[in-house]
Amino acid sequence: MGSADHIAEGQASVHAVGGWQVLLTRHEDAIVAVNDRCTHAAARLSTGRIRRGALMCPLHGARFDLADGHCIGGAYPALRRFPVRESDGVVEVAVPATPPGMDEMPVDH
C-alpha cells in the first residue's frame, strides 16, 4: 500500500483499496486504518480534523476515537476499522473481499 514513513500522527491520508476509501493515520505509534466515511453524515472524514486522538467529521463535528472507532459523546455507530500491519516499513491493509455498498461509501457534500 505504501511506505509507513509517510503516515504521520495527526495527519490523514486516503488510499483506494479494493473499492474502499481507506483513511490511514498514526495514533500512539500505531497505524490506524478506517473507512473514510462518517457513520452519521457519510462525509469524508479525511476532510475533517484529527485532534486529541479523535477524527472529527467536517459536517457536524461528530468525533470518533482512533483507538477503537467508537463515537465520542454521540449515539452514532462506530467507524469500520480495517486490520493493518507494518512490515519492513511497508503498510498492509486487509479490506473485505466484497466492495463497499452505497451505505459505506463516502459522499461529497
3-state secondary structure of 98: coil
pLDDT tens for each residue of 4-31:
767 878 899 999 999 999 999 999 989 9
pLDDT tens for each residue of 41-70:
899 999 999 999 999 999 999 999 999 999
In a domain, 69, yes or no: yes
> Could you tell me which residue, 47 or 1, shows the higher pLDDT?
47
Contact assessment for residue 91 and residue 31, using Cβ atoms and an 8 Å cutoff: yes
Predicted pLDDT of residue 2: 63
In a domain, 89, yes or no: yes
Predicted pLDDT of residue 108: 83
How many domains does the chain fold into? 1
What is the Cα Rg of the chain in Å? 13
In a domain, 107, yes or no: no
Closest CA to 63 of 43, 81, 80, 38: 38
pLDDT tens for each residue of 74-102:
899 999 999 999 888 899 999 999 999 88
In a domain, 103, yes or no: no
- The domain spanning residue 45 has which CATH number? 2.102.10.10
In a domain, 104, yes or no: no
In a domain, 37, yes or no: yes
**Residue showing cell 466484497:** 98
In a domain, 108, yes or no: no
In a domain, 100, yes or no: no
Domain that holds residue 74: 2-94
Predicted pLDDT of residue 21: 97
Predicted pLDDT of residue 103: 86
Predicted pLDDT of residue 107: 86
